[in-house]
Chain A
Amino acid sequence: EAQVTQNPRYLITVTGKKLTVTCSQNMNHEYMSWYRQDPGLGLRQIYYSMNVEVTDKGDVPEGYKVSRKEKRNFPLILESPSPNQTSLYFCASSVSRYSYEQYFGPGTRLTVT
């Protein structure tokens, strides 16, 4: 089944403790991205990657890192999480950045205390 998977689905952590949220897709998509969703603010793009080893900042990149060493994986790294990064996070992929359809993962709900 074609899908985007994220792990973990739920995470509660403390301020400053490094964490990684994994994202993997099995559709051989070139383009992958991360979004966060907050009440009243909609979805906002954090980072995106057009292909392996090619990443760029989205609208709200501060406090996040990404890497794209393999085509299928696009982990999101929070080196020193803070409470304002408490949010619902979605990974997405598409054939290319010019594709009309993006496929979204199930989401990761992160709470930073």
Chain B
Amino acid sequence: DAKTTQPPSMDCAEGRAANLPCNHSTISGNEYVYWYRQIHSQGPQYIIHGLKNNETNEMASLIITEDRKSSTLILPHATLRDTAVYYCIVRVMSRGGGADGLTFGKGTHLIIQP
């Protein structure tokens, strides 16, 4: 699976959009991009995933650059409850694109400021 690079921490004001970047310059054409988050010592929570196209769900939007070497997770209206560590993960499609055996790195600690 391709390696990802994320900033170790970010701040965002409550009510503003939080934009979390992820670099995956070695991503292969058959790898998905996943985002999970982990609120302090709780189990990780799935947010969103994508392959090529931008994706949106009730939690967030995922913007993937055209060359797929980087992506941005957008939380449109951040709240204090969004304070968490956010993990960007890439995974080969040959494993069915499934989420099993995902490797969680260090992620980005997002702190929402009141």
* Chain A residues at the B interface, C-beta cutoff of 8 Å: 4, 31, 33, 37, 40, 42-45, 48, 58-59, 88, 90, 92, 94, 96-107, 109
Interface size class of B (residues with CB under 8 A): 20 to 34
CB distance from A31 to the nearest CB of B (A): 6
Question: Does A102 lie within 8 Å of B104, measured CB to CB?
Answer: no
The interface stretch among B9-17, B36-44, B68-76 is B36-44
B109 within 8 A of A: no
Question: Does A104 lie within 8 Å of B99, measured CB to CB?
Answer: no
User: Given that A42-B105, A43-B104 are contacting pairs, would A100 and B43 also be in contact in the complex, using a CB cutoff of 8 Å?
Assistant: no
Measured in the bound complex, the distance between the Cα atoms of B5 and A12 in whole Å is 35
B46 in complex: contacting residue of A88, A90, A96, A100, CB < 8 Å: A100
Measured in the bound complex, the distance between the Cα atoms of B45 and A52 in whole Å is 25
Measured in the bound complex, the distance between the Cα atoms of B40 and A106 in whole Å is 11
Question: Does B44 lie within 8 Å of A88, measured CB to CB?
Answer: no
Closest A residue to B43 by beta carbon equals A104
Across-interface contacts of A59 in B (CB, < 8 A): 101, 103
Question: Does B101 lie within 8 Å of A48, measured CB to CB?
Answer: yes
* Chain B residues at the A interface, C-beta cutoff of 8 Å: 32, 34, 41-46, 49, 87, 95-107
Measured in the bound complex, the distance between the Cα atoms of B103 and A58 in whole Å is 11
Across-interface contacts of A31 in B (CB, < 8 A): 98, 100
Question: Does A58 lie within 8 Å of B98, measured CB to CB?
Answer: no
Question: Does A88 lie within 8 Å of B98, measured CB to CB?
Answer: no
CB distance from B7 to the nearest CB of A (A): 16
A58 in complex: contacting residue of B43, B96, B99, B101, CB < 8 Å: B101
Across-interface contacts of A90 in B (CB, < 8 A): 43-44
Question: Does B101 lie within 8 Å of A92, measured CB to CB?
Answer: no
Closest B residue to A39 by beta carbon equals B106
Closest B residue to A31 by beta carbon equals B100
Closest B residue to A40 by beta carbon equals B106
User: Given that A42-B105, A107-B41 are contacting pairs, would A100 and B100 also be in contact in the complex, using a CB cutoff of 8 Å?
Assistant: no
Interchain Cβ contacts under 8 Å between A and B, 15 examples: A31-B100, A37-B104, A42-B87, A43-B102, A44-B103, A45-B100, A45-B101, A94-B99, A96-B98, A97-B96, A100-B32, A100-B46, A101-B46, A101-B99, A102-B99
